[in-house]
Homo-oligomer: A and B are copies of this chain.
Amino acid sequence: CSYPVWEDFSAKATKLHSQLRTTVLAAVAFLDAFQKVADMATNTRGATRDIGSALTRMCMRHRSIEAKLRQFTNALMESLVTPLQDKIEDWKKTANQLDKDHAKEYKRSRHEIKKKSSDTMKLQKKARKGRGDLQPQLDSAMQDVTDMCLLMEEMEKQAVRRALVEERGRFCTFIGFLQPVVNGEIAMLGEITHLQAIIDDLTVLTTDPHKLPPASEQ
């Protein structure tokens, strides 16, 4: 049965979501402290104003990353976990109905074939006793049994197909729910690329710690 797998996934995603939420809060507090370091660099007598401005850019970029992380965290719950939980309930109901319908159809078909077969066998007995020309009637009855068996085989094939489509449909639904979450992750990437330029600037600014910028001693 597949439900425990889906339910375990939903539980672990919920746990991750709540962890990410507290991480976002810690990130906000961290970035506030980071901005204070940047402000300190900007405000002190001019010798670190250049560094302060690069640190401020670094901090602002991280606030954008934090906003994207927040969106990703929300998408995890709102686009994936909550709709998935609803779907799991639907799936259970649908699968139950499919099973029930199929069992009923199968039982009815088997019953009809059995009945037709026993009718045919009675006809065969009569025919062997040579009463009248029953051959055409017998041929037709045997053809009926064969047709009913082929029909049942086809019905079984259809039932398997329905189950496969239902199963595949579940994964398609799941992937539809997953998409906004992965897109949220990818959106963070766009923010992270800017970090390289800022850290490069900071590296250049701090290559010689003993060299003060020209304006700072005036």
Contacts and interface: CB of A to CB of B under 8 A. Distances in A.
A202 B175 contact: yes
Nearest to A209: B172
Contact of A168 (B6, B32, B212): B212
A76 B189 CA distance: 19
Contact of A12 (B19, B33, B205): B33
A20 B27 CA distance: 9
Contact of A199 (B27, B55, B179, B189): B179
Number of copies: 2
Most buried by B among A160, A202, A217: A202
Contact of A47 (B9, B12, B40, B168): B168
Give me the 7 closest cross-chain CB pairs, A-B, nearest first: A172-B209, A172-B206, A47-B164, A12-B33, A19-B26, A169-B209, A9-B33
